Amino acid sequence: MIPRGPMLEQIGKYKIVGKIGQGAMGEVYRAQDSVLNREVAIKIISSELGADDALRKRFQREAQSAARLNHPNIITVYDYGEEQGKIYMAMELLDGADLKQAIARRAPLSLDDKLSIVDQIAEGLAFAHSHEIVHRDLKPANVHLLGNGQVKIMDFGLARLGGSEMTRAGMVMGTPHYMSPEQVRGERAEARSDVFALGCVFYELLTYQKPFDADSMHSVLFKVMQEDPRPLRETTPEVPAVLAQVVERAMAKDATQRFQNASEFRSALHRAMQAVAAGRGDAALPELAPPPPGPAAPRTAARGAESSGAASGARSASAIREGTPAAPRSTAPARPAAASTSKLPLVGALIGAIVAVAVGGFLFARRGVSAPPPPPPVTRPAQVDPLAQELARSQVELARRRAQAGDFRDALRQAERALKIDPTNKDAQEILSRAKATADEVDKAAGAARQASAAGDAASAASAVWTLLQKEPANAAVDELAPKVDASFRPRAEEARRGMAQARQGAEAMRAATALDTFKEGADLARQGDAELKAGRSVAAARRFLAARDRFERAARSAK
């Protein structure tokens, strides 16, 4: 690694602000681009790797390749350089957390949340594969979740550098749990190797268990080579069979039996998602007709604009995300859609989405999962209008339910989708306005909390954290500042406990409420809150008590 000593202050045109983390390849810093006046992440390669001339040249080639991958689902590489023997790469600075962290704490993701994540990973990989670039080390730690739901694949090129070093030493390259059998055998990694890794990530995201896990690296590699993972539906029976088939095919031992690239994987995923939306979750994947020729589910210009906002506008995290502010980035150009030869695909897509709402709210177009976009209003066939209006109303209902559940960020996204379909929908406009106001309030509170903490004002920081807990308990600033405000936060935790106890009494007054699962969840959360409070973790305790209060109130409402 880079020798320890005084913290680096400057490298190239970048002024170092602070250290973000350290990994096998080197160290990552937050830095300020003094020319363009923006924050970036700087990855400095370890001195051991940098001392090898062949590796340095290879890293430079890979950095150039990564810089060509201008796509909303791939981290942007801005610059590469070498100074005083240190090799560095300047990249987009991201907010949020990686997928590994979300899986580790079993983030409460819905099925369509998970499908959106996998779909976005596949889209980014498909773009890389179309440029003949293979990741080689796809894993949850290399998938970043932004606060607005957008996904970024990281470490393109760096994985190749690691692979080069391992290959030279006669070792296997990659991360054992996600390596394909051919990588374990020391063979060249290709697009199908990325597909295998994507299948492993998909399996783990659906089940919160690694498909190949053991106590030692040797045992893990043996399982990758010789054993099939436990059937996905044994682990998680609620996963539709058609989705399990996509996962199983992606993880086939024989590379020829897998999807041949990420684009093929994504096409199958979309067919499976549409089958689930139509109530055919038990369909056999080969029975589902492939989509017409052309680019798979291209992003619309509107989605491109949404992606641009992802990096610059999302300052706080949702239930699955936490981390640092994002640096501004430019909008990646949208890829053109294939010319339509029939009006039927659009009608079918709209009908499928409406059926999805009717069977339980599963909407395959949610959170960035690209569905066939409606044409511009000037060319839209008149007979489609009623269907489009119905789809917009369904989206508004989803937005309203998310707002009632306290998930204002998801309500905002759902309202935006409704307005893309029907810009005149007044209900969607109202929900969007309220959700944006709440988001602004939360973002201001998060900023105030951080500023107060940095200034040593624990009381003001605690007050801002209390606001965050009531508006967005999973906000990144809460966990970030909890250790600094715990000592002064106990009175608020006790206040939250009193509110929880009052809500519990109200629910217990209705006998039917105590038999509901939501009441039992509240009781569990209350016990966890007591344990956190006893351990001196006042912020965590307050969060548990507030969540328990909500469960008790929900149980009481349901029992009326």
The reply to whether 83 falls in a domain is yes
The pLDDT of residue 83: 84
| 283 and 143 together in one domain | yes
**Does 210 map to a domain?**
yes
Q: In whole angstroms, what is the distance from residue 127 CA to residue 124 CA? A: 5
pTM of the model: 0.52
Please give the residue range of the domain that contains residue 63: 10-92
Looking at the fold, whether 173 and 198 belong to one and the same domain comes out as: yes
What does the pLDDT look like over 207-266, one tens digit per residue?
Answer: 999 999 988 777 787 788 888 999 999 989 999 999 999 999 999 999 999 999 999 999
Residue 397 maps to a domain? no
- The answer to whether the CB of 507 falls within 8 A of the CB of 553 is yes
Positive or negative: CA dihedral 204, 206, 208, 214: negative
Choose the final residue of a domain: 52, 76, 92.
92
Query: Strand 86-92 relative to strand 26-33: parallel, antiparallel, unpaired?
Result: unpaired
Q: Among candidates 145, 405, 442, 410, which has minimal Cα distance to 316?
A: 442
Integer Cα distance of 238 and 196 in angstroms: 23
Pairing of strands 38-45, 77-83: unpaired
CA distance readout (Å), 333 to 123, 302, 500 = 14, 11, 49
CATH number of the domain that residue 84 is part of = 3.30.200.20
Q: Are residues 61 and 165 in the same domain?
A: no
Q: Say yes or no: 113 and 260 in one domain.
A: yes
Residues 397, 389 contacting (CB under 8 angstroms): no
Same domain assignment for residues 86 and 38: yes
Where the chain has pLDDT below 50, the residues are 1-4, 159-172, 291-385, 387
CB neighbours of 349 closer than 8 A, spacing ≥ 6?
371, 372
Cα R_g (the chain), whole angstroms: 24
Whether 262 and 125 have beta carbons less than 8 Å apart is answered as yes
Whether 111 and 236 share a structural domain: yes
Other beta carbons within 10 Å of 465: 33
Asked whether residue 118 falls in the same domain as residue 79, the answer is no
Return the amino acid letter for 138.
L
Q: How many domains does the chain have?
A: 3
Q: Which of 219, 252, 287 corresponds to the end of one domain?
A: 287
Nearest to 466 by CA among 449, 483, 453, 451: 449
- CA 23 to CA 83: how far, in whole Å? 20
- What is the distance between the alpha carbons of residues 391 and 395, in angstroms, rounded to a whole number? 6
Confidence (pLDDT) at 389: 60
Domain membership flag for residue 437: no
CB 42 within 8 A of CB 14: yes
Q: What is the dihedral of CA 188, 192, 193, 196, to 10 degrees?
A: -160
**Is residue 310 one of the residues assigned to a domain?**
no
* Residue 171 shares a structural domain with residue 40: no
Does 22 lie in the same domain as 138?
Answer: no
Q: Which residue among the candidates 112, 113, 137, 407 is catalytic per the annotation?
A: 137
Q: Based on the fold, state whether residues 112 and 45 are members of the same structural domain.
A: no
Same-domain status, 170 and 280: yes
- Per-residue DSSP letter, 298: P
Match 């023997």 to its residue by tokens: 85
CATH code for the domain in which residue 114 is found: 1.10.510.10
Closest CA to 232 of 216, 215, 250: 250
Write out the H or E segment, with its range, that includes residue 90.
strand 86-92
Evaluate whether residue 419 is within a structural domain: no
Concerning whether 137 is annotated as a catalytic residue, the answer is yes
Considering the domain boundaries, does residue 354 fall inside one?
Answer: no
With b meaning 16 or more CB within 10 Å and e meaning fewer, what string describes 17-50?
eeebeeeebbbbbbbbbeeeebbbbbbbbbeebb
Q: Is residue 423, in this structure, part of any structural domain at all?
A: no
Q: 83-115: per-residue pLDDT in tens?
A: 877 889 899 999 888 999 999 999 889 999 999
What is the SS3 assignment for 540? helix
The token duo for 231 is: 């059937």
| Boundary residue ending a domain (51, 76, 92) | 92
In the prediction, which pLDDT does 98 show?
A: 92
User: H-helix or E-strand containing 83?
Assistant: strand 77-83
Same domain, 115 and 252: yes
The answer to whether the beta carbons of residues 121 and 135 sit under 8 Å apart is no
DSSP codes of every residue in 431-483: HHHHHHHHHHHHHHHHHHHHHHHHTT-HHHHHHHHHHHHHH-TT-HHHHHHHH
